[in-house]
Amino acid sequence: MVLSESICEIEIEIRNADGLHMRPAMQFVDVASKYQCDIKVSNGDTKVDAKSIMQMTMLAAICGTKLTVRAEGVDCRQAIDELQELVEEKLFGEPPKK
């Protein structure tokens, strides 16, 4: 959903079996950090900075968890697209749930 030129928000679902453990969280942070925009991720209870590994690991997102990703800034569209691809299509390079 494009809220304005510089704000972008989507819901993504964790689909790899092991969930958002540290290695996937690091991949997420690496991608998020490439972009200038401010990115926040929320699991409903906790809202964290997508560029902080400590905060991302706090989400404890298991397989099936839906996260809201909100980016604000000039390159928000590209950031959201790449994050969505990493999580829902590439599955962080990990296997899906059997």
**Of residues 21, 40, 77, 90, which has the active-site annotation?**
21
Is 74 a residue that touches another protein (CB under 8 A)? Answer: no
Site for another protein in 39-58 (CB under 8 A): 53-55, 57-58
Q: Which of 40, 63, 75, 90 binds another protein (CB under 8 A)?
A: 63
Cα–Cα dist 63/73, whole Å: 29
Q: Which residues contact 39 (CB under 8 A, 6 or more apart)?
A: 32, 49, 50, 51, 69, 70, 71, 72, 76, 79, 83
Is 2 a residue that touches another protein (CB under 8 A)? Answer: no
What is the radius of gyration, based on Cα positions, of the chain? 12
Burial class (CB in 10 A: 0-12, 13-18, 19+), 22: exposed
Is 17 a residue that touches another protein (CB under 8 A)? Answer: yes
Smaller CB separation from another protein, 18 or 72: 18
21 a catalytic residue = yes
Mind telling me the catalytic residues? 21
Residues that bind another protein (CB under 8 A): 17-23, 26, 53-55, 57-63
